[in-house]
Amino acid sequence: KTVKTIFKIMEQQPFDAKVLTSACGLITNLAYDEKIAAELVEHAGVSYIVRAMREHQNSSHLQRNASAALSNLSACTGFVSQLVCSLGVEQLFAALQNHHNDTDVTQLANGALYSISVYARQSSLHVAAAFCDSIIVRQVLLKNWNECMNVNLLDSLHETPLHAAAKAIVSVYRSNGVNSDEMAQRLDVFQYLIAAGGDIQCKNESSQTALSILRDNIFIDIENDDL
C-alpha cells in the first residue's frame, strides 16, 4: 500500500520538485529492504524516478535522491529493462553533466551507472544490447528514434550498440560456452541490431568491428578446439 501511495503522489505532482525529491528519498530508504525494493521495481518505480529526473534536471537535491534510489534498486530483477526503456541511462549522465560540481550527485549517479556495469559514456540502447533481450532492445530503439538517435549511436569508446552486443556474446561464451539459452538470447539481439541497420563495418578506438570482436574471441577458440 505504501509503495502504491508513493507512486500515486508522484503521478499527481509531476511538477513539484520538493514532493518528488521527498518521494525519491523515501524510495531510497525503503529499497534497503530487498522485498520492498522488488515491489518498487515491480510497480514501475524506476520509470517514475527517471521521469522525475527528466522534469527537474536543475534540482541537485532531486538528482541526488533519485540517483541514490536507482542505485539501491539496481540489484532487482527487471531494473535494467525499466531503466533503459525509460532512457534512464541518459538521465544519469545528464545529472553528471549538469551537476558536475556537486560531489554527492557525482558519486551517486556514478554509483547507479557502475551498478549495471556502465563505465563509458553509453546510451540506453548500448546497455540494452548488452543485458536485455531483443524485445527490450526494440522498445529502446523506438524511443531512441523519437529522440533523434539511431542504431549506430557511438559511445565514448566509439562503439555502437552492436559492439556492446558482440562483447556480451563473448562474455556469455567465456562463462557458459556456445550452447546455452543465454547465448541464444545474446545472438538474437545481435542479429536484431543488424536487421535494424547496425553497421558491421564500424570500428571502435581499437579498430575492431563487432564481427572482429566475435572472430578474435570466439571463432579462433572454436577452430583451435577442433584441431
DSSP state of 82: H
Q: Quick one: cell of 54?
A: 527528466
Residue-wise pLDDT for 24-69, tens only, equals 999 999 999 999 999 999 999 999 999 999 999 999 999 999 999 9
Average pLDDT score over residue span 195-206: 94
Sign of CA dihedral 75, 76, 81, 83: negative
3-state percent helix, strand, coil for the chain, nearest multiple of 5: 70, 0, 30
- pLDDT band at 126, cuts 50/70/90? very high
Cβ(150)–Cβ(121) under 8 Å?
Answer: no
Following DSSP, what letter does each residue of 67-83 receive, concatenated?
A: HHHHHHHTTSTTHHHHH
pLDDT for residue 118: 85
pLDDT for residue 221: 54
pLDDT for residue 149: 56
DSSP state of 216: I
Q: How many residues does the chain have?
A: 227
